[in-house]
Amino acid sequence: MEPRFLGLDLAWVDTNPSGLAVLDANGRLLEVSADLRGDADVLAWIEKNVGACGAVAIDMPTIVRNAMGQRDCERSLRRDFHRHDAGPYPANLGLAPFADGGRASRLIDGLDERVFHTTDVAARDPRTVAFETYPHAAAVRLFELAAIKRYKKKGRPWDLVLSEWAAYRRLLDGLRDADPPLLLDEGLLPRSVSKERYKRWDDAIDAVVCAYVAAYVWTHGTQSPRVSVYGDMQGGHIVIPSGPPMMRSPGGYRSAVEPADAGPAIRTRENRT
């Protein structure tokens, strides 16, 4: 069985649907789901799609131990990305979804030894590893964005939201010749969408970005300068690309630009939680 790369845009509470996506070893999008809600259904989907090795990148805090305020990884990432409008929501034990640590932690525990929760990822790791990511910050680095794409509704006019979603989808198409590649299926993730059931497409595109981050981090490893790790396995972490990927050319792979300075990346030894 070959590697698989899973992206989870987890809803903080299981009454809301989550976005889920999986890529194969060649970066081909195999499945997208944005309808599953309960922990049991999401866990079954992960178990069905996980490979012999690979990675699971989760857009939801996986480690929350601070009683109030924000985690150190959120503070560090916000400092580097606030000018891009890419700051994460803070998580703490005082928030109801994290009073028991949060559902991401529960799901990882439910996978037992099949998935290793860690920030210590070797290049092409023989295990299936899981880590937290943040797709807004990942997209800023991958595509050198001055600001995040405004595809979240949040009171914005529909024409802006839908055009921004389509622009984001075009950026993802540009990763076809990247290392690693991303090969999208228009039947699973169309090039444009309407406002009908739009939340489904919002969650789906986030999940696809998470799945690509999973493939990117697994390909290069967290010791690579192409990957940044904010925080650690004690207080929480966020793992993102440090810059745009290498692109395939007739002479081999070339770097589109040098990776941007992503600020301090605290690298840790594995500490399974």
Helices 135-143 and 72-81: angle between axes, nearest 10 degrees:
40
Distance, in Å, from the CA atom of 117 to the CA atom of 38, rounded to the nearest integer, reads 21
- Report the SS3 class of residue 175: coil
Q: What is the pLDDT confidence band of residue 255, given thresholds at 50, 70 and 90?
A: low
State residue 96's pLDDT score: 97
- pLDDT of 148 higher than 60: yes
State residue 251's pLDDT score: 63
State residue 113's pLDDT score: 84
CA 245 to chain centroid, in Å, comes to 15
Average pLDDT for residues 227-238, to the nearest whole number? Answer: 98
State residue 184's pLDDT score: 98
Per-residue buried b or exposed e for 109-144, using 16+ beta carbons within 10 Å of the residue's own CB: ebbeeebbbbbbbeeebebbbbbbbbbbbbbbbbee
Length of the chain: 273
Task: Tell me the per-residue pLDDT of 153-187, one tens digit each, with 9 for 90 and over.
Answer: 999 999 999 999 999 999 999 999 999 999 999 99
Task: Tell me the per-residue pLDDT of 81-117, one tens digit each, with 9 for 90 and over.
Answer: 999 999 999 999 999 999 999 999 999 999 988 999 9
Out of 37-41, 66-70, 144-148, 249-253, least confident range: 249-253
Average pLDDT for residues 222-236, to the nearest whole number? Answer: 98
In the sheet with 246-249, reading across from the earlier edge strand, the strands are: 178-179, 246-249, 252-255
State residue 269's pLDDT score: 34
State residue 112's pLDDT score: 84
Q: What is the pTM of this model?
A: 0.92
State residue 232's pLDDT score: 98
State residue 252's pLDDT score: 62
Out of 40-44, 60-64, 222-226, 258-262, least confident range: 258-262
- pLDDT of 56 higher than 60: yes
Task: Tell me the per-residue pLDDT of 1-54, one tens digit each, with 9 for 90 and over.
Answer: 799 999 999 999 999 999 999 999 999 999 999 999 999 999 999 999 999 999
State residue 250's pLDDT score: 65
Pick from 267, 240, 19: which is nearest to 145 by CA?
240
